[in-house]
A and B are shown apart, each in its own frame.
Chain A
Amino acid sequence: MALAFLPALARMAVCGGTHGNELSGVYVVQEMERQRKEKGADTWPIPITTLLSNPQAVKECRRYIDTDMNRCFNRATLSSPIADSSAYEVRCAQELNNLLGPKGSTDATDMICDLHNTTSNMGLTLIHYTSNDWVTLHICKYLQTKITKVPVRVLVLDFPISDAYNLESVSKHGFTIEVGPQPHGVVRADIYIVMKEAVDLTIDWIHKFNSGMVFEGGDVEAFKFIKSVDYPRDPETRSLTAAIHPQLQDKDFCLLKRGDPLFFTFSGETVKYEEDETLHPFFINEAAYYEKASCVKDDPGLVIEAGKEGRDAAPAVLWPLRLDRACTN
């Protein structure tokens, strides 16, 4: 099998608090900064920038102040002129793009790990916007083999980079580390430990890769986003008329087949999944997505996001990867 040669990863950023109430990342970043103070510049094998993306939201322990930061990194928002009325998060996003980007340029940082939590039972999910990034996919594969405490899954959104609106799309090879279930505003030790391990192993992979190690190719099982499913709602008031069915609650990434229970209405009826296509739901009952369903009329809401296991979506074959020594300077 052919070997792909790629340049070393010279710079990395670990970002917490992109959503200010997703606390594991806030404390992982805090702990990394404490380690840097204690052990000095050589704490890690490559220079790592650690930061809180949305400091005001972190201070107030809220998802955001004016608008969701993690929707601000598409080209249109990054290049929009800043006025007094500009959203706090749009200003932050442009500052982050200056610091870690510019997005799409050769000056952009090599890797952004954006740390998130979810109230959904998603274990450790690595989210990336494209299926074409070998480096990110190899890191995902590495984490899948090394982490055994929780299931480790890969989710690919398949956006072209200019449309990708997440923070990690600013870097050349970025991804989101999403760990759940954890209520917003809470830090659970078991969830923190998983996230810290994921970050440490990512740094470990980069160190090994930069030292010339060959990473074997193979398959990466990835889930691809297909569509969102909203709650049943009252047509006039838009308020919910059902909750996620107890048999579906906490079953992220399970197989959802025709006839399986989806919702349990307040009047005691079961609403079933009626489509023919078997899918894998995720972000089941994520707190933050209730709002998106009610206020954005052309986005039906992300209460459950149904994904498809995509052997044909993400690269079915991942080429072995090795450092391209010619590009290390």
Chain B
Amino acid sequence: MSSRTIISCLQEAKRVAIFGGTHGNEMSGITLVNMWIQNSVEIERDGLVSKPFISNPRAVEKCTRYIDTDLNRAFTPENLSAPDVEGLPYEIQRAKEINRMFGPKGSSDAYDVIFDLHNTTSNMGSTLILESSTDFFNLQMVHYIKKAMAPHTCSVLLNEHPQLKYSTTRSVAKHPIGLEVGPQPQGVLRSNVFESMRTILKHALDFLELFNSGVEFPPCTVDVFRIQERMDYPRDTNGNITAMVHPHLQDCDWEPLNRGDPMFLTFDGRTILYEGANTVYPTFINEAAYYEKQQAFVTTCREILAANAIRKASNVFS
């Protein structure tokens, strides 16, 4: 018999939410959630309740990313504990409301899983975003989804960086998962992108149903891309960008970028090279929403994360 396998016994995932419209112009999630609010048959599974939810309805109505401030950066402890006063930015009010409905963040009453649906103008394909390298439940779910989607590729992005990590809408839940599918322009619904996101969610819910029914998932490893650094555009003294993502880098999300490779092209035709010592794997290349966040792309490094076997904790212990 092989050496003893550690099995993590985890609480079942009964309360699940699917958020669309955290950014009001990212159309796949908005369309899916609205569809499921009308008819939820597709997202129903035994042993769990899945709630489709439009997180930023005012932004969705105006088909804009946000009204006052980015909702997906708003779930900080300061904001969540801010007093209810007149003049509080819309998204901070909304963050507090979402925290009441699906949290409180960090407590045992919080929702088990939140899937937050996003699109990007970057050529990232189907991407799952994790915030923790030690959440075995999420790692197992992501492993399951990747296998089910194959041969269609699902990349996994890990944002655990102490400075670059941010307080997402989904972070209210015990197990937050970001779904990011691109490329798709803001305000546009592309059929293939829509169907990819729909399929990812189908597999995710299948996993939850299997887990809740008592299935044990053996130990696994997941290839991830870990965020290292944010790279901004070259700018002038007034803060205006002076170059664009180079044509050789544009659309090359997840591909290696080596020292000496073209990175930016100035408006008058000069190439700026990547000077970093190590090979990196850029992503979020030329995302529209990140010009104002001083980000042309992020660099990542490849890593293999390991997850214990998991199964649902029996009632005796829960």
Contacts and interface: CB of A to CB of B under 8 A. Distances in A.
A186 B286 contact: yes
A183 B185 contact: yes
A192 B246 CA distance: 11
Contacts of B286: 186, 188
B306 interface: no
B187 A287 contact: yes
Nearest to A290: B187
B190 A285 contact: yes
B244 interface: yes
Given A184-B288, A187-B244, A239-B34, A249 B192 contact: yes
Interface stretch (A27-35, A92-100, A272-280, A308-316): A27-35
A183 B121 contact: yes
A264 B191 CA distance: 7
Interface stretch (A158-166, A215-223, A240-248): A240-248
A240 B267 contact: no
B289 interface: yes
B245 A189 contact: yes
B191 A188 contact: no
Contacts of A266: 31, 35, 194
A189 B186 contact: no
A242 to B, nearest CB: 8
Contacts of A243: 189-191, 194
A244 B186 contact: no
Q: How large is the interface on A (under 10, 10 to 19, 20 to 34, 35 or more residues)?
A: 20 to 34
A44 to B, nearest CB: 15
B267 A31 contact: yes
Nearest to B120: A183
B244 A244 contact: no
B78 interface: no
Contacts of A239: 34
Interface in A42-71: 61-62
Interface in B25-80: 31, 34-35, 63-64
B192 A240 contact: no
A185 interface: yes
Nearest to A241: B35
A119 interface: yes
Contact of A186 (B34, B64, B288): B288
Interface in A133-174: none
Given A188-B286, A189-B247, A244 B267 contact: no
Contacts of B194: 243, 266
Contacts of A10: none
Given A30-B267, A31-B268, A190-B247, A285 B288 contact: no
A288 interface: yes
Contacts of B121: 183, 185-186
A107 interface: no
A81 to B, nearest CB: 29
A176 B190 CA distance: 26
A189 B185 contact: no
Contacts of A184: 185-187, 288
A291 interface: yes
B189 A240 contact: yes
Nearest to B65: A185
B250 A190 contact: yes
Nearest to B194: A243
Given A246-B192, A249-B191, A183 B250 contact: no
Interface in B239-267: 240-241, 244-247, 250, 265, 267
Contact of A185 (B186, B189, B244, B246): B186
13 contacts: A27-B267, A61-B291, A61-B292, A183-B288, A186-B121, A187-B241, A187-B244, A189-B250, A190-B250, A264-B191, A285-B190, A287-B187, A290-B187
Closest 8 CB pairs of A and B: A183-B185, A185-B288, A287-B187, A243-B191, A183-B121, A119-B185, A31-B267, A189-B244
Given A30-B240, A244-B191, A245-B191, 4 more contacts: A183-B121, A185-B121, A189-B245, A285-B189
